[in-house]
């Protein structure tokens, strides 16, 4: 168990022009923490993870494991277990041989190696599968072999790069619970990479949301969901409406804005919002927090339904409110509601939050 620190870490690839794949990233991961790098394709997640593993060296900045500076140390001298996106198992070897690979390199004796391989296979619920060939396993089982192979060396840090991406939805949910259990049981510090925000929310102690090589926000899942720092995070985590509304008054940690119908509401804002009266504020409100009512209800915003999508558990609506498209997710919608109908919307001010651009 060890804490991992990235200090002003940047990575520029030769011939990739001036843009940094990873740009001045500062992250402190506590010992035993399950920490996730989350962001869209190309935002720099794999590059960041590979620098922690030692497969890439930063162009600038430092990486520390505890007090030790590992910035330029090769991968085999870092004590990290890595699970790659494509598993990278050896197809011609048995399950046990695959798992034992890291121990063989470390010259662990035969008896000790067997004991630890059995233990690791037990951890991932594959006891008794040691003699199987890799091509005799399902995708989910192969994924667990890759995990056992990373765990067996008892790494100080466990690094996982989109390890569930090849699994079907059900297996993915089962395996994420399992990874989380194993990580907590072994107490290993874990850094997990995904572009799937639901997966990140379900698994992580904390999440760093990245975009274009930069960290946009670091926080616990609840914090990132309810208090997104900026419009990008609000839209990327779940879905969110980010409404541009005129500012009527600005306080230290609140802003009073005018809703499309003209009604003024006071909503929470970060202390450094920097907004003034007569400017505009970006206000985030989640589709599932907006109440759907009838167009005639007093105090409700009125709008016209432009899209309606039934997903089974709920219905997603797009509602045009004075030219502004507002997403609404409702568990119940009035029977017979169709696109073109007028509806009323209730925006809960306690769920609204000012975000930075």
Ligand X SMILES: Nc1ncnc2c1ncn2[C@@H]1O[C@H](COP(=O)(O)OP(=O)(O)OP(=O)(O)O)[C@@H](O)[C@H]1O
- The footprint of ligand X (CB under 6 A) covers 13, 16, 21, 39, 41-47, 195
Find the shortest distance in angstroms from Cβ 196 to Mg ion.
12
Sorted by sequence, the CB contacts under 8 Å of residue 97 that are 6+ apart come out as: 90
Beta bridge partners of 65: 4, 68
**Partner from ligand X, Mg ion, none contacting 237, C-beta within 5 to 8 A by type:** none
Smallest separation (angstroms) from ligand X to the CB of 225: 21
Residue 253 in 3-state DSSP? coil
Q: How far is the CB of 36 from Mg ion (least distance, A)?
A: 13
Q: How many CA atoms lie within 13 A of 42 on its CB side?
A: 3
Burial class (CB in 10 A: 0-12, 13-18, 19+), 85: middle
Return the sign of the alpha-carbon dihedral for residues 261, 266, 271, 277: positive
Residue 167 C-beta: closest distance to ligand X, Å: 16
Query: Per this entry, what is the length of the chain?
Result: 357
Q: Which is nearer to ligand X, 45 or 149 (CB)?
A: 45
CB count within 10 Å of CB 69 equals 13
Q: Which is nearer to ligand X, 129 or 232 (CB)?
A: 232
Rounded to the nearest whole angstrom, what is the least distance from the CB of residue 44 to ligand X in the complex?
Answer: 4
Region of 24 on the Ramachandran plot (φ > 0 left; ψ -120 to 50 alpha; else beta): left
Q: Does 46 bind Mg ion (CB under 5 A)?
A: yes
With CB under 5 to 8 Å by kind, the binding choice for 36 among ligand X, Mg ion, none is none
Q: Which is nearer to ligand X, 10 or 302 (CB)?
A: 10
Of 1 and 16, the one with the shorter C-beta distance to ligand X is 16
- Give how many residues touch Mg ion by CB under 5 A: 1
Nearer to Mg ion, 163 or 221 (CB): 163
Nearest Cα neighbor of 97 from 81, 110, 84, 79 is 110
| Chain residues in the site for Mg ion (CB under 5 A) | 46
């Amino acid at each position: 168990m060890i804490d991992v620190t990235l200090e002003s870490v940047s990575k520029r690839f030769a011939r990739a022009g001036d843009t940094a794949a990873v740009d001045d990233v500062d992250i402190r991961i506590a010992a035993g923490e399950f920490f996730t790098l989350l962001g869209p394709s190309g935002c720099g997640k794999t590059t960041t993870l590979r620098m922690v593993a030692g497969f890439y060296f930063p162009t600038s900045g430092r990486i520390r494991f505890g007090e030790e500076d590992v910035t330029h140390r090769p991968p085999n001298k870092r004590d990290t277990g890595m699970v790659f996106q494509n598993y990278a198992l050896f197809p011609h070897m048995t399950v046990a041989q695959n798992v034992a690979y890291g121990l063989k390199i470390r010259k662990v004796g035969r008896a000790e190696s067997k004991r630890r391989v059995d233990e690791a296979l037990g951890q991932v619920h594959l006891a008794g599968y040691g003699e199987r060939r890799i091509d005799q396993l399902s995708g989910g089982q192969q994924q667990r072999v890759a995990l056992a192979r990373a765990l067996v060396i008892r790494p100080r840090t466990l690094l996982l790069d989109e390890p569930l991406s090849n699994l079907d939805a059900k297996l993915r949910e089962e395996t994420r619970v399992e990874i989380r259990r194993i990580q907590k049981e072994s107490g290993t510090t874990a850094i997990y990479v995904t572009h799937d925000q639901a997966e990140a929310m379900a698994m992580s102690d904390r999440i760093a949301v990245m975009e274009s090589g930069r960290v946009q926000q670091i926080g616990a899942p609840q914090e990132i969901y309810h208090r997104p720092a900026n419009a990008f995070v609000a839209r990327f985590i779940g879905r969110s409406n980010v409404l541009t509304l005129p500012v009527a008054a600005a306080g230290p940690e609140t802003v009073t804005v005018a809703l499309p119908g003209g009604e003024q509401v006071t909503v929470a804002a970060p202390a450094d919002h920097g907004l003034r009266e007569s400017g505009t504020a970006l206000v985030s409100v989640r589709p599932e927090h907006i109440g759907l009512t009838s167009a005639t209800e007093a105090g409700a915003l009125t709008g016209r339904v432009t899209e309606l999508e039934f997903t089974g558990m709920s219905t997603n609506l797009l509602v045009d409110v004075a030219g502004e498209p507002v997403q609404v997710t409702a568990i119940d919608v009035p029977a017979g509601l169709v696109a073109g109908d007028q509806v009323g919307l209730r925006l809960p001010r306690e769920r609204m939050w000012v975000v930075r651009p």
